[in-house]
Amino acid sequence: MEIQRISIVGTTGSGKSTLARKLGQALDIPVTELDALFWGPDWTSVSDAQLSNRVRDAVAGERWVIEGGYSRVRPQIWGRADTVIWLDYSFPVNFARLAQRTARRILFRESLWSGNRESLQRTFSRDSILVWMIKTHGPNKKKFAAQFAQPEYAHLNVRRFRSPRQTDAWLREVSSKRRR
């Protein structure tokens, strides 16, 4: 089965964006980050209706990779997807990756969606991405497992990777098949 419409999910910091870029490049498929559709300038979020419209446009094509786990638009995405890649890594792996990413973004003042930047102040506030990851890691594991068992998602080819090594091996396999 050739994968054409791929959703990548996992806890914050698991590497969804990185995998999406690599997979999109390997398969020559357009990539969309849900954060880019959700966040406006100064970390303001778009309305649910705006997000839904943007996602509708992103999944209209026959080939795409979408990364992110926004529950409010998940039915739109998974309803059209043929494959879901679940980066189900351990808490220590996710937290270490997120801490490194956050430090790099602050240090190098990386510009994110709509010109937003992570900052020390934000990292150590109630809006901290690190706190968000701590709060959502466990619940996300349960939530995704339960959702994959729902009949409306029986059509999905779910690939659950429990380590970056597994993910990298799969990506190499997919990339080599594409080159043949």
Ordered domains of the chain (ranges, CATH): 5-89+138-171 (3.40.50.300)
Q: Which residues of the chain have pLDDT under 70?
A: 1, 179-180
Please report the pLDDT score of residue 59 as a whole number: 97
State the pTM of this model. Answer: 0.93
Contact 123, 130 (CB under 8 A): yes
Based on the number of CB atoms within 10 Å of its own CB, is 105 exposed (0-12), middle (13-18) or buried (19 or more)?
middle
Please report the pLDDT score of residue 179 as a whole number: 64
